Chain A
């Protein structure tokens, strides 16, 4: 079956513009995660959705960042008034359920969206 897909694969925008990044998780996966990978840095957790529960937004770096997940499937990460420091690869991952349960469910990662803010 299809894996996690993300679009666009590359996005170049001007400082101050808004951008939307899309993630299509694996069908049937109830958990969805967004991470940011900056050059020379590890992956930074941004936000986590699990089923119909309220999302864990603790990793969002500022109020310019928001995400939603419609119908428990597709997710959109929105960055408003982009800044140059937002340039990074944004990765999405999905799993069957919360990974930290005793029976671990692997997170499957998409290929990422490379965002460049000029």
Chain B
């Protein structure tokens, strides 16, 4: 069955520091991959997606992610974190059954 693993439950970084959130997936076919962000009291917002083509995808708010098929990974990165980036981040893999499988999420705390 398809699955997504986000190994880090909680990450704390200092404002201005770089960020990498890890995501590993398990899926037999070419995956559709997504990163969503959920701010407190807000709905999920799509940051970026990968369907095909260039394995480095750019998203909103200065985020990017790289699809590495050999590692079954789709890690999210940002070169300089802002306090407003504090939120819960979810990685998801799209399947051919009209559903998405989400990871458990990584909570990001940003220190001043």
Residues of A within 8 A of B (CB): 3-4, 33, 35, 40-45, 48, 50, 56, 58-59, 91, 93, 98-100, 102, 104, 106-112
Contact = CB atoms under 8 A, between A and B. Distances in A.
B93 to A, nearest CB: 11
Nearest to B104: A42
A61 B42 CA distance: 25
Interface of B: 4, 6, 9, 32, 36, 41-46, 49, 51, 90, 92, 94, 96-105
Secondary structure type dominating chain A contacts: loop
A70 to B, nearest CB: 20
A111 B42 contact: yes
Given A41-B104, A42-B102, A99-B98, 20 more contacts: A3-B43, A33-B99, A40-B104, A42-B6, A42-B101, A43-B44, A43-B92, A43-B100, A43-B102, A44-B102, A45-B101, A48-B99, A58-B99, A98-B98, A100-B94, A100-B96, A104-B49, A107-B100, A109-B43, A109-B44
11 contacts: A40-B9, A40-B104, A48-B98, A50-B98, A56-B97, A56-B98, A93-B44, A99-B100, A104-B49, A104-B51, A106-B49
